[in-house]
A and B are shown apart, each in its own frame.
Chain A
Amino acid sequence: NAGVMQNPRHLVRRRGQEARLRCSPMKGHSHVYWYRQLPEEGLKFMVYLQKENIIDESGMPKERFSAEFPKEGPSILRIQQVVRGDSAAYFCASSPRQGADTGELFFGEGSRLTVL
């Protein structure tokens, strides 16, 4: 059973370009969470999605950031017109249901975005 898969692992963009980060949850998991981690900081919640639904996007910046989790295919975090401050590691996590009994989230290896 493959774990949470994120790609690309590393992405370099110039200011003003778009970044697309993909996350395939573990098999059987229908809940996906995106986090951002700045250097030397903890993870900050961005958005929680279920298939075809955004459940909670309270951690998402109001502009330039969007996320989706279509019926088919991976979840995508999209950052438009990137700025240097968007440089960070973006982690995706999945769970089989909201509040898995053990409280366990399964994280991917992360996608590291560098904006030049």
Chain B
Amino acid sequence: LAKTTQPISMDSYEGQEVNITCSHNNIATNDYITWYQQFPSQGPRFIIQGYKTKVTNEVASLFIPADRKSSTLSLPRVSLSDTAVYYCLVGLTDSWGKLQFGAGTQVVVTP
């Protein structure tokens, strides 16, 4: 399984863009990259998934360079409610449920 490395924490102000980069140097050819969000006392919630280049949905964008050894989750114009832990996961789509969540990145948004 590809090991991921992401910052422990990031601070931001409301209205700013937050970019969280995840390193996954040993990503395999068939691996996908998925990000989850977890609020205190809640289960994780799926944000976005991608394989290469750029993926965008109503919540975030995911940028994946050509070598796929890293990926960046971009949260546009964050609000206080975006304060959460964000997890980067890398693996095959047929083994999602067995992936280990790392410590994630604690994002704190302040006014």
Residues of A near any B CB (own CB < 8 A): 4, 31, 33, 35, 40-45, 48, 56, 58-59, 91, 93, 95, 98-110, 112
Contact = CB atoms under 8 A, between A and B. Distances in A.
A21 B70 CA distance: 37
Interface of B: 32, 34, 41-46, 49, 87, 92-104
Nearest to A110: B43
A45 B34 CA distance: 16
Nearest to A9: B41
A95 B95 CA distance: 11
Given A42-B101, A43-B101, A56-B98, A103 B42 contact: no
A90 to B, nearest CB: 10
Contact of B49 (A44, A95, A98, A103): A103
A98 B97 CA distance: 8
Contacts of B87: 42
Residue among B42, B93, B97 having the largest count of chain A Cβ atoms under 10 Å: B97
B98 A48 contact: yes
Nearest to A94: B97
Contacts of A59: 98
Contacts of B92: 99
A91 B43 contact: yes
Contact of A109 (B32, B42, B49, B98): B42
